[in-house]
Amino acid sequence: MAYIEKCRERYDDTTRETQTSMISRKEVILNVLSRVVSQICAEDNFEHYFISGGGNPISEKNEENARNVFRIPADVNVYFVTSANMFGGINIGGKGFAITPEGIYYTDDKKNRGLIDIDDFMDADLRIKNYICIDGHEFNTTNKRVVFKMLLDLQNELINELR
């Protein structure tokens, strides 16, 4: 019986450590996102910002469109959204990306969709030409230089905090 109790204690300790580690990692990601994204947003409540041609609060329609276009689950907070559409705006069939605590949900200029998770983002190749390139995914966004700098800052801070 003592052996079983020790196994349970070890299991409980490991489970607690894992949960604490996950909470800490999520808190670090949220803190880094808040710091970096809020630097380019006009107000402190950056959580619902739609960035295209400046920092505008995201409307319910644009948030719903972003969730549909980038396939973002309803329970995932969206911290930053940018459009890569010719006239801006997030619409069905549109292009761009959204930054969340899980990573970057995107539809690139070639209409590829996916998620670059936080760990992959930390290792991602970021480039700017006539468009922003994240690991080979091209986005012809407005405010390219501002958005690119924010991505670089985000990547560097995540690396510093999580590695």
Q: pLDDT (tens digit, 9 = 90+) per residue, 98-152? A: 888 889 999 998 989 999 999 999 999 999 988 999 999 999 887 788 788 889 9
- What pLDDT, on a 0 to 100 scale, did the predictor assign at position 43? 43
Per the listing, tokens 């803190």 go with 31
Residue 30 has pLDDT above 50, yes or no: yes
- What pLDDT, on a 0 to 100 scale, did the predictor assign at position 143? 73
Per the listing, tokens 């972003």 go with 66
Q: Distance between CA atoms of 85 and 65, rounded to whole angstroms? A: 13
Residue 5 has pLDDT above 80, yes or no: no
Give the strand order in the sheet containing 49-51. Answer: 55-57, 49-51, 80-83, 96-100, 103-107, 113-117
Region 35-59: what's the mean pLDDT?
51
Q: Distance between CA atoms of 67 and 91, rounded to whole angstroms? A: 10
Confidence category of residue 78, pLDDT binned at 50, 70, 90: confident
Q: What are the structure tokens assigned to 19, written together?
A: 């949960």
In this predicted structure, which of 31-35, 80-84, 86-90 has the lowest mean pLDDT?
Answer: 86-90
